[in-house]
Amino acid sequence: MRERLGIKRRRYALAVDARKCINCKACVVACKAENDVPLGRFRNRINEESGGAFPRLRASFEPEQCHHCASPSCVRVCPTGASYQRSDGLVLVEGDDCIGCGYCIIACPYDARFFNEQTRIVEKCTMCAHRVDAGKPPACVETCPTRVRVFGDLADSGSEVRHLLDSRRSHVKQPETGNGPHIHYLD
């Protein structure tokens, strides 16, 4: 319908300013609460990197979750179509269709998926699609004390995420996979 009216398709994405990340894990717990993620499993994480020798040390933190790729390898390998992509770019798993084969877990270059032992289906970040559809930001975006993540529609020229990507340098992780990931890390 939107296309027919000449409205561009939405393309949801995340811009991440990792310099502002203080590794407080608010996003990790918010995700857990919002999505009933079982203990010991996570839909998002903060990668830590540190090095150097005393007293010349460095440490950096980088939030990561499903990259909601443009050409998602997880969707390609799914034998049942449980993994699918919405027209707005969000990559989701239809639980009822998932047989738990785990191909997608292996196919994901970002280690974003896991098998939920309780529900017997594969889970991952949904970008809180249920919240987004209700006009609310994903839980990890909303709760962040330092506003590391900016969520929005790349097709909307007025969105903050579009503005950030247009005005600042950014990179994606492992572009060579051809997956076209949509977490854009600001440089």
Partner 1 sequence: MSAPVSRRALLRGAAGAAAAVALAPHLGCARFLKRRGEVPVESREVPTACELCPNKCAVLAVVEGGRIRKLNPNPLSPKSRGMLCARGNAAVRSVYDPDRVKQPLIRAGARGEGKWRPVSWDEAFDFAAGKLKAIKGQHGPEAVLWSSTEGFQEEFFSNLGLAYGSPNLVRHPTLCLASVNLAYSMTFGTVPSFDLLNADYVIMSGANRFESIITPDTMDLVESTMNRKAKLVYLDPRFTVTASKADEWFPVRPGGDMAFILALLHVIIGEDRVDREFVAAHCHGFDELRAHVQQYTPKWAAAETEIPAADIVRIAREFADAAPRALYYAGRRSSWYVNDFQMRRAQAILNAVVGSWDREGGVVPNSKIGLGELLYMPWDEPTAPRIDELDARFPLAAKGDGVFLQARENVLAGTPYPVKGWMVYKQDPMNALPDRGRTQKMIEGMDFVGVIDTQMSDTAWFADVILPESTYLERLDPLHGLPGIWPVVVMRQQVIKPIHDTRANLEIVQGLAKRLGLGDYFDYTIEQWVAEQAKELPVDNPLAHLQKHGVFAAPGAPFYGTTRKPDHRFLTRSGKIELYSERLAEAGHDPLPTYVAPTPPPADSFRVLLGRKATHTHAGTTNNAWLHELTPTNDLWINPVPAAALGIAHGDVVEVASKVGKVRLPARVTEEIRPDCVFMLHGFGKKSRQLRLAYNNGASDADVLETAWDRVSGNAAFHETFVTVRKVGEAPHA
Q: Is 144 in the site for partner 1 (CB under 8 A)?
A: yes
Among 3, 39, 171, 176, which residue interacts with partner 1 (rule: CB under 8 A)? 39
Cβ atoms of 26 and 32 closer than 8 Å: no
Burial (CB count <10 Å: 0-12, 13-18, 19+), residue 97: middle
Among 7, 8, 47, 59, which residue interacts with partner 1 (rule: CB under 8 A)? 59
Cβ atoms of 153 and 10 closer than 8 Å: yes
Residue where the block lists tokens 């933190």: 61
d(CA 118, CA 95): 12
Among 15, 34, 110, 181, which residue interacts with partner 1 (rule: CB under 8 A)? 34
Q: Which is nearer to partner 1, 34 or 153 (CB)?
A: 34
Query: Closest distance between partner 1 and the C-beta of residue 97, in Å?
Result: 5
Q: Is 57 in the site for partner 1 (CB under 8 A)?
A: yes
Q: Binding string, 12-31, against partner 1, x = CB under 8 A?
A: -----x-xx-xxxxx-xxx-
What's the distance, CA 132 to chain centroid?
13
Cβ atoms of 91 and 72 closer than 8 Å: yes
Query: Closest distance between partner 1 and the C-beta of residue 32, in Å?
Result: 6
Q: Which is nearer to partner 1, 19 or 76 (CB)?
A: 19
Q: Is 71 in the site for partner 1 (CB under 8 A)?
A: no
d(CA 180, CA 124): 18
Q: Which is nearer to partner 1, 16 or 182 (CB)?
A: 16
Strand-pair category, 12-16 with 183-186: parallel
- Site for partner 1 (CB under 8 A): how many residues? 44
Strand partners, 121: 116
d(CA 148, CA 135): 20
Binding site for partner 1 (CB under 8 A): 17, 19-20, 22-26, 28-30, 32-34, 39-40, 50, 52-55, 57-61, 80-82, 94-97, 99, 119-121, 139, 142-147
